[in-house]
Amino acid sequence: MSNPDLQQRATALLALHQPGNPVVLPTVWDAWSARLAVGAGFSALTVGSHPVADSVGRADNEGMTFDELLTRVAQITEAVDVPVSVDIESGYAEAPARLVEGLLSVGAVGLNIEDTVHSEGGRLRSSGEHAELVGGLRAAADSAGVHVVVNARTDLFLRKDGDDADRVDRAVARLKEAAAAGADVLYPVGRHDADTQRRLTAELPLPVNAIGLPDQDDPASFGPLGVARISFGPFLQAALATRATELLERWR
């Protein structure tokens, strides 16, 4: 895919992020699930590291290599004609230029980058380290001539890091640094109550990504909370697995 085509897709992906009118990016893991989502009418997708890892028999948290992920992403982008973002976990210990080059080479125009460093025992990057990585990704994308949509994620809520009392404050401060470094979207990943979600979207300076449970949540509930993007993490695959198990048990 040429750079103008990639840039057009990146621009289209970014434009979909409207606070209060969130874009739903179904989380897919292979060509089949991607075609299923596009066939259902969705105009962009995100590739989830956890469901991809499960689909190839590897562990989440960088149990597969970056090259293995790229192989799967290439199959997805060949199968559908919509913008695709990719969860690259904490970067697979690769340099920002290598990450951006690899994604663009297989037709992806967005990425999620988290602050848990799986290649270093699962430690949490400092806010400055995470911002530096975001800045490196933005600079690499600029050099490549494509405005890759960078979704900066923090795992403070998932990890229950530090005291509950100031966790929102710390997450907001951390993500503001990422925003200043060049992020386009901010992802305080976790399941938040309505008041916390409203506070996050009110205090963060960029569109906010929330996680949705496709078989349980009300799609209309996210807009009033100021959310700009909804993805499913591993939960679409999990919901399909539950239903598939029910079907298979009929034949045991």
Q: Per-residue pLDDT tens for 36-47?
A: 999 999 999 999
Classified as helix, coil or strand, 66 is helix
Q: What angle do CA 118, 121, 125 make, to 5 degrees?
A: 65
Report yes or no on 248 lying in a domain: no
Report yes or no on 250 lying in a domain: no
The first and second tokens of residue 126, run together, are: 């400092």
pLDDT > 90 fraction of the chain, expressed in percent and rounded? 98
- How many domains does the chain divide into? 1
Cα dihedral sign, 87-54-52-220? negative
pTM of the model: 0.96
Instruction: Give me the domain span that covers residue 178.
Output: 3-242
| CATH number of the domain enclosing 113 | 3.20.20.60
Does residue 125 carry a pLDDT above 90? yes
For 80-111, the pLDDT digits (tens) are 999 999 999 999 999 999 999 999 999 999 99
What are the start-end ranges of the H helices in the chain? Answer: 3-15, 31-39, 49-55, 66-79, 96-105, 127-144, 156-159, 167-181, 194-203, 235-249
**pLDDT band with cut points at 50, 70 and 90 for residue 132:** very high
Does residue 1 carry a pLDDT above 90? no
Say what the pLDDT of residue 102 is.
98
**pLDDT band with cut points at 50, 70 and 90 for residue 161:** confident
Could you give the maximum distance between any two Cα atoms of the chain, in Å? 56
Does residue 218 carry a pLDDT above 90? yes
**Residue pair 29/51 in contact by the 8 Å Cβ criterion:** yes
Does residue 146 carry a pLDDT above 90? yes
Q: Write out the DSSP string of 205-220.
A: SS-BEEE--TTTS-GG
Does residue 2 carry a pLDDT above 90? no
Mean model confidence pLDDT for the chain: 97
